């Protein structure tokens, strides 16, 4: 497996804390079944395909939750991604209209304690 290293990934690799004090980490793979180039994120990424990956084929959420979007800049259909493995697009989407995920951000949960 090849791991992408570059300025965009490094910028997104800082610690981010959720509304309940948790940290966020997701690994995004270019191909299905966790193959190909990969990118680890712990902060929002408005465009996964500008310089990080050509496409998103699978996702592993190590801590979260995360909110994925079918379009860049956090637009379009939204997908809530909880901790777990998503080996291909139909594991995170029931949509027949779109098989893409182009931006991600941590889902900050703020609630009454």
Q: How many domains does one find in the chain?
A: 1
* 1 falls within a domain: no
Q: What is the pLDDT of residues 63-74, one digit of tens each?
A: 989 999 999 999
* 9 falls within a domain: no
What residues make up the domain containing 95?
25-106
* 19 falls within a domain: no
Is the CA virtual torsion 18, 66, 16, 22 positive or negative?
positive
* 38 falls within a domain: yes
Q: For residues 69 and 4, what is the distance between their CA atoms, to the nearest angstrom?
A: 21
Number of C-beta neighbours around residue 17 at 10 A: 12
User: What pLDDT, on a 0 to 100 scale, did the predictor assign at position 59?
Assistant: 96
The pLDDT profile of the chain, 113 residues, written as one tens digit per residue, is 444 443 333 334 333 444 455 689 999 999 999 999 999 999 999 999 988 899 999 999 999 899 999 999 999 999 999 999 999 988 888 766 667 899 999 998 777 66
Task: Say how far residue 3 (Cα) sits from the centre of its chain.
Answer: 16
* 18 falls within a domain: no
Q: For residues 59 and 43, what is the distance between their CA atoms, to the nearest angstrom?
A: 15
* 4 falls within a domain: no
User: What pLDDT, on a 0 to 100 scale, did the predictor assign at position 3?
Assistant: 45
* 15 falls within a domain: no
User: What pLDDT, on a 0 to 100 scale, did the predictor assign at position 18?
Assistant: 44
pTM value is 0.77
CATH of the domain at 102: 2.60.20.10
* 54 falls within a domain: yes
User: What pLDDT, on a 0 to 100 scale, did the predictor assign at position 38?
Assistant: 96
User: What pLDDT, on a 0 to 100 scale, did the predictor assign at position 110?
Assistant: 79
Residue reference for tokens 């190909």: 36
């Amino acid at each position: 497996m090849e791991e992408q290293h570059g300025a965009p990934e490094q910028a997104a690799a800082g610690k981010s804390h959720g509304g309940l004090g948790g940290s966020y980490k997701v690994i995004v793979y270019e191909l299905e079944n966790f193959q190909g180039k990969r990118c680890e994120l712990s902060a929002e990424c408005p465009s996964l395909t500008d310089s990080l990956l050509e496409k998103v084929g699978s996702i592993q959420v190590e801590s979260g939750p995360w909110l994925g979007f079918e379009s860049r800049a956090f637009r379009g259909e939204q997908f809530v991604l909880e901790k777990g493995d998503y080996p291909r697009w139909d594991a995170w989407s029931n949509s027949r209209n779109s098989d893409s995920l182009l931006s991600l951000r941590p889902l900050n949960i703020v609630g009454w304690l």
